[in-house]
Amino acid sequence: MANIYNLFKFLEDKKGKKIPLRAKLTHAPETIEKEDLNVEGDLDLEDTKISSLPDNLKVKGYLDLGNTPISSLPDNLKVGGSLYLKNTPISSLPDNLTVKGNLDLYKTKISSLPDNLTVEGDLDLENTQISSLPENLKVGGYLSLLNTKISSLPDNLKVRGNLFLDQTPLAKKYSKEQIRQMIEKKGGEVEGGIYI
């Protein structure tokens, strides 16, 4: 695989073509420079052996880290599209994470979310260890809590899409109507349906 990096290095030297960040991350992380940290498009690292990312990384498109051994995200990570972390050992997210698209945490070891998290797209927490949500959570699409340990909902929860609560302690204890009333009494709102 080092041959791929060498090919890109050859093209950079001979033709002035910049080495893609993916090649640097997977084959020569020591060569990453400040100007490499602004990715204009998508960064697809799914199914790679990537275990860390540099601080201050900005990806204008989506960032896919699914099925990688990455266990934490860098400080000041900004993702202009969706962030896919499914099937990773991620257990927490940084406080200053910005995600403009979907946040996919399906089958991760995530156990908590940072306060005041805003996800402009869907938030998938299905089959995670999450047992509570932060106050003021805002989700622009659907919120999936299928098969989690959620037993209560936070103050000021805002979900513009559907709320999926199948196979949770909350769904076993309350009806859809009771859950909606509970959310509204706490200053929150679910614009879509509630599924239990």
Residue appearing with tokens 């103050």? 155
Rounded to 5°, the CA angle 92-77-123 comes to: 55
pLDDT in tens, 81-140: 999 999 999 988 887 777 899 999 999 999 889 887 889 999 999 999 999 999 999 999
**Distance in angstroms (rounded) separating the CA atoms of residues 60 and 45:** 15
Half-sphere exposure (CA, 13 Å, Cβ side) for 181?
A: 5
Give ∠ CA 172-86-123 in degrees, rounded to 5: 55
Q: What is the pTM of this model?
A: 0.86
Q: Which domains does the chain have, with CATH numbers?
A: 1-32 (no CATH), 38-195 (3.80.10.10)
16: region left, alpha or beta (phi > 0 left; psi from -120 to 50 alpha) = left
Cβ density class 143-156: b for 16+ within 10 Å, e for less: bbbbbbebeebbee
Number of H-type helices and E-type strands within the chain: 4, 16
pLDDT tens digits for range 21-79: 887 888 778 888 888 889 999 999 999 999 999 999 999 999 999 999 999 998 888 99
Instruction: Give the pLDDT confidence score for residue 158 in this predicted structure.
Output: 96
Query: At residue 12, does pLDDT exceed 60?
Result: no
